Structure 1
Amino acid sequence: MEFTIKNCRIEISFLFFATLTFSLLCDRSGIAGIGVLAAILHESGHILLMNIFGIPPRKIKMNPFGIDIVEGDRAYPGRLTDALIALAGPTANLLSFFALLAWFSVWPQRYLSFLSAANLGLFLFNILPIEPLDGGQALYSFLCLRFPEAQAAHITEVVSFFALFPLAAAGFLALFRSGYNFTLLLAAGYLAALLLLKKGRYF
């Protein structure tokens, strides 16, 4: 599925659409929809800051493994701008968490607590200094301000692998305690595969 919104090409893979539809239809608790809303807030943070810096996205590709935002043609804005754009998504989730928490304090509704928790979870996950995640991309951009790109890439790679260990340990612990919850462990394995295959956004 493809369409265009204000010169931005939106590409949605069939598998992404099918997976999303299946999750929303089968989840009677509403958790899947809450997760989607938190993800939309996250990506909106990236897109908003890109537009503020005058580099609106040229293409947004959605697949089951994530959402890829392709920047439009423009003069390179610098590593600091790259870092700020990378951090915009987690920041949007963190601000949403605090806003929803304040809202929940005056109007305690179950879904507000779930949505605030989903935003906090996305913030904590994406801020990790692991290369494919926003935190890792921001770390690389900040390091490039001080070191050559090759050295910055090496430092980011080392930090990423060390950051994966507690994530994998938490995944094993969650699986051991629940007997079925392997989501965090699967995420750690996926990130490790991306690191080994050099599928990071910048290097």
Structure 2
Amino acid sequence: MRAPFDAMAGRNRRSYTLSLDVNAPKSATWAVASAHSVRLEGTPPIEITTDADPARPGVYTGRLKIGELDLPMAYRVLDERPGEAMAIEVLKSESAPECCPGDDYVCAFAVTGDEHTSMITSTYEVTHTRFSSRLLVPLAAVQNIRRLRANAQIRAGRTNDSGQDAIKNAVLTGALTFASFFAMFGWSAAAMLILLILIHELGHVLAMRWTGIPVKGLYFVPFFGGVAVSADRFESEAERGLVALMGPGFSLLSTGLFMFLAMQGKDAFMTELTLMSALLNGFNLLPILPLDGGQITQALLSRFNENAARVFNAVALVAGAALALAIKSYVLLIVLLLVAPLLASKRGATALRLPPLTGMQWVLLAIAYVATFVFYADTIMQLALAAGEAKG
């Protein structure tokens, strides 16, 4: 989020440092992080294959494969303490631009821990030569360290991820949710709701992928909606806010497309689909947990003291319960009652605390949140006015 302001201020040399706990022995984490040839599973898979250059001590040359992309790569080991830390410099003249996003690109990592668990810390330093690298380097840093952790845990045999199970769960819960909506609204509305929920949840999934958070699965919830579940916890309130916002944010594209098609052909079906999308996403932006709007406001409240956050949560819970009763959404009411004790307790608030937003992150998230909500509110109002004019 700081990229535009760094560019305007002329700050070109930047350092990005991240640390993650790893559920794997120190030896397994070191083996993955220090390997000169390694395959990191993920979407897309990343494979590094390098060999020592006999003519140049400490220099390694080879290939970097990102999915189907095959790139030349070379780097020099600047410092290494076996089992502890390593620093390398990517050789720009011998590497593809994708491998070296700026000048004097240095990557370093350190591993601490014991035979049970460990921690990995990575640092990326680069002198930016183009604006795109200001966005790509920090994102790549987050993705890379999460992949290193995931592969270290796989190496230690401490994961049990199954893509097929995730797909089966999505299909099964989707069928049950469709049946619940069909019983309440009929097949046409049920089909539209499933489509809109899928688009919405894909926004969350894309945001998780973008920030390097592994996705456990996408699940539909009968009578309620859907949820994209991460396989890992958020590392900051910035990640939490971004992932929450991207559900309604990604749906801006589909809602805008539906509205354009509805206006072009004056199609009643597309008009209904547009209205349903605006209502679904607008409702989801209300500042009530566990809705996305509640997650976003929790991220925004991270800059305030704990008592202020608890007061806001109490007011939001009461308002949410009243709304659930008004619209007869008893599933939402049950969920609110389940999360109420946690949010009301000081212990619960502390357990949920993450590194807060910076001042600039707070401003950007607040603007994006309000703008997205205004878009959906305006869409609903425009469709309501159009319907009134048609009747008149």
State whether TM-score is above 0.5: yes
Contact map agreement 1:15 1:63 (CA 8 A) in 2: yes
Where structure 2 has 5 or more consecutive residues not aligned to the other structure, the ranges are 1-161, 353-392
- Report the Cα offset of residue 47 of structure 1: 0.7
Deviates further, 158-167 or 106-115: 158-167
DSSP-derived class of the 1:137 partner: helix
Letter matched to residue 333 of structure 2: G
**Equivalence map 1:65-80=2 (5 Å):** 65-73=224-232, 76-80=234-238
2: CA distance between counterparts of 1:159 and 1:88?
25
- Give the fraction of aligned pairs with identical amino acids, expressed as a percent: 28
Asked if 1:194 is matched to 2:350, the reply is no
2: CA distance between counterparts of 1:15 and 1:72?
18
Asked if 1:4 is matched to 2:160, the reply is no
Contact map agreement 1:57 1:70 (CA 8 A) in 2: yes
Contact map agreement 1:12 1:63 (CA 8 A) in 2: no
DSSP-derived class of the 2:175 partner: helix
From 248, 255, 268, the equivalent of 1:97 is: 255
- Report the Cα offset of residue 165 of structure 1: 6.5
Asked if 1:133 is matched to 2:276, the reply is no
- How many positions carry a matched residue from both structures? 183
The structure whose residues are more often strand, as a share, is 2
DSSP-derived class of the 1:142 partner: helix
- Report the Cα offset of residue 124 of structure 1: 1.5
The structure whose residues are more often helix, as a share, is 1
2:320 paired residue number? 164
Where structure 1 has 5 or more consecutive residues not aligned to the other structure, the ranges are 172-183
DSSP-derived class of the 1:99 partner: helix
1:109 paired residue number? 267
Q: Deviations over 1:56-96 (max 9, x none)?
A: 3123343425433321347x541112101101112223332
Letter matched to residue 340 of structure 2: L
Structure 1 or 2, whichever has the larger Rg, is 2
Contact map agreement 1:130 1:159 (CA 8 A) in 2: no
Q: When the two structures are superposed, what TM-score results if normalisation uses the length of structure 2?
A: 0.40
1:179 paired residue number? none
DSSP-derived class of the 1:55 partner: coil
**Equivalence map 1:119-158=2 (5 Å):** 119-144=277-302, 146-147=303-304, 150-151=306-307, 153-158=309-314
* RCO comparison, higher one (Cα < 8 Å, 6+): 1
Contact map agreement 2:218 2:228 (CA 8 A) in 1: yes
Q: When the two structures are superposed, what TM-score results if normalisation uses the length of structure 1?
A: 0.71
Contact map agreement 1:139 1:156 (CA 8 A) in 2: no
Letter matched to residue 88 of structure 1: M
Letter matched to residue 323 of structure 2: L
Contact map agreement 1:161 1:192 (CA 8 A) in 2: yes
- Closer, same or farther in 2 for the Cα pair 1:111/1:42, shift >3 Å? same
What RMSD over aligned residues (CA atoms) do the two structures have, in Å? 3.5
